[in-house]
Amino acid sequence: MKTKFLYHAEAVGASGHITLPYNETIEIQASVALPIGGGHGSSRSENFKHRNVLSFHEAVAHVAGSRSEHGNPHHATLSTVVITGLNILDVVTCDRVVMRLTSQQNVNDAGQAVGEPSFMLHGTHFDNLRIAGHVINIPLATGVFNRCGNWAEVMKAYNGDLKPFALLAGEGDPQEKGTLGFTFAQIPDELPGGLTKVDHGIHVDHFGTVYLGEIFISRSMRRVQMLQVELGCSVEGCVGIGGGVGNGTLWP
Summarised one tens digit per residue, pLDDT across range 3-49 is: 789 999 999 999 999 999 999 999 999 999 999 999 999 999 999 99
Give the chain's mean pLDDT: 92
Asked if 75 and 114 touch (Cβ cutoff 8 Å), the reply is no
- In DSSP terms, which residues pair with 185 in a beta bridge? 140
Residue 172's pLDDT band, with cuts at 50, 70 and 90, is low
Residue 155's pLDDT band, with cuts at 50, 70 and 90, is confident
What 141-144 contacts at long range (C-beta under 8 Å, 24+ apart), as own/partner pairs, is 141/165, 141/184, 141/185, 141/186, 142/184, 144/184
The residue range of the domain holding 70 is 4-251
Residue 169 pLDDT exceeds 70: no
pTM of the model: 0.94
Farthest CA pair distance, the chain: 63
Residue 186 pLDDT exceeds 80: yes
Provide the number of structural domains found in the chain.
Answer: 1
Residue 51 pLDDT exceeds 90: yes
